[in-house]
Amino acid sequence: MVYHISQPSIQLSKFIKHYWTLENCMPDGNAHIQRIVPSGLMELIFYFHDRPESTDRNRSMNENTLITGQLSEYYDIKVSGRISLFSIIFQPHGLAAFLEIPLQELVNQHVPLQCIFKKDVHEVESRLCEAKTFEDRIAIVENYFYRLLKNKEIKHNYERISHSIGKINQSKGMVDIDALAGEACYSRKQFERNFSYLVGTTPKQFLRVVRFQHAIAIKSNDNAVNLTDLTYQCGYYDQAHMINDFQKLSGMTPRQFFSDSTPYSDYFQ
């Protein structure tokens, strides 16, 4: 398996968190089941050979280029054959800078890129497929995003929600929604409406995911931390609260989740 990750250019870093690529070939007849959990981030992914299959019939993955919206629930994918992919992970509100649609419409969805971005999609897909290196693919998509931004005006609402995301990140999700709304100069209803439009999920759900990802990040950095300490470090009322969130977001208790695989936080790492 070959895996690489790279940061975007400084100009695009406020919209894009990172790029990653994977080259993996499963032995004939073998398959791996991978659980996907909410990360608080949206993703644009290009498949160049075989695609994984979702074990959920309602979650289609029938195209080679897909945008994955915010997730509020977990799901499993079956990985087999030869997987070759290039992925763009956006900042929580980053995709909104390029689109004119409410991002809550994408929640829990895999949407073909051509349904969202109409301009030059086939050209970008072809060039990425022909590219020889990870760096070449990054250059192709960055040039595409520069073109999309060229005549776009970043709206004031976007900047206000961007500031709120910064506060959420600093607090690791342990912040009051009314306080966020007030600092952004919104009423609570205005804040919830604008946040959902630009981030793709409600503030309450997003904070739940960020706390969940923070717990994973702490455990990945210190596997010896016990669940009691983890509960209070991450702002849960008690262990029952943390267990309930883990079961909703991953289908497992914290103990099961951390024993099932090496913890890794997509949001914080």
The top-scoring range by mean pLDDT among 74-83, 115-124, 155-164, 187-196 is 187-196
Query: Is the same domain home to 64 and 92?
Result: yes
Query: Is the same domain home to 127 and 186?
Result: no
Q: Which of 134, 150, 166 is the last residue of a domain?
A: 150
Q: Is 76 domain-assigned?
A: yes
Query: Is the same domain home to 180 and 139?
Result: no
Inter-residue contact 251 to 212 (CB < 8 Å): no
Q: Is 266 domain-assigned?
A: no
Q: Is 117 domain-assigned?
A: yes
Query: Is the same domain home to 123 and 162?
Result: no
In tens, the pLDDT along 172-227 reads: 999 999 999 999 999 999 999 999 999 999 999 999 999 999 999 999 999 999 99
In tens, the pLDDT along 221-259 reads: 999 999 999 999 999 999 999 999 999 999 999 999 999
Inter-residue contact 220 to 264 (CB < 8 Å): yes
CB-based contacts of 135, cutoff 8 Å, min separation 6: 6
In tens, the pLDDT along 57-109 reads: 777 777 889 999 999 999 999 888 888 899 999 999 999 999 889 999 999 99
Give the per-residue pLDDT at 226.
Answer: 93
Name the pLDDT band for 33 (thresholds 50, 70, 90).
Answer: confident
Give the closest residue to 246 by CA, choosing from 229, 262, 233, 227.
227
Q: Is 268 domain-assigned?
A: no
Query: Is the same domain home to 19 and 144?
Result: yes
CB-based contacts of 255, cutoff 8 Å, min separation 6: 227
**Per-residue pLDDT at 5 exceeds 80:** yes
Give the per-residue pLDDT at 63.
Answer: 85
Report the DSSP pairing between strands 31-36 and 2-6. Answer: unpaired
Query: Is the same domain home to 38 and 139?
Result: yes
Query: Is the same domain home to 160 and 146?
Result: no
State mean pLDDT over 34-52.
93
Name the pLDDT band for 12 (thresholds 50, 70, 90).
Answer: very high
Q: What total of structural domains would you count in the chain?
A: 2
Name the pLDDT band for 47 (thresholds 50, 70, 90).
Answer: very high
- Which DSSP string corresponds to 120-157? SHHHHHHHHHH--SHHHHHHHHHHHHHHHHHT----HH
Residue 191 Rama label (left phi>0; alpha psi -120 to 50; beta): alpha
State mean pLDDT over 33-49.
94
**Per-residue pLDDT at 118 exceeds 80:** no
Q: Which of 86, 116, 150 is the last residue of a domain?
A: 150
Q: Is 267 domain-assigned?
A: no
Query: Is the same domain home to 232 and 118?
Result: no
Query: Is the same domain home to 33 and 130?
Result: yes
The answer, as to whether pTM is greater than 0.85, is yes
Query: Is the same domain home to 6 and 130?
Result: yes
**Host domain of residue 96:** 2-150
Q: Which of 89, 119, 150 is the last residue of a domain?
A: 150
Give the per-residue pLDDT at 72.
Answer: 95
Give the per-residue pLDDT at 138.
Answer: 97
Give the per-residue pLDDT at 82.
Answer: 86
CATH value at residue 82: 2.60.120
CATH value at residue 218: 1.10.10.60
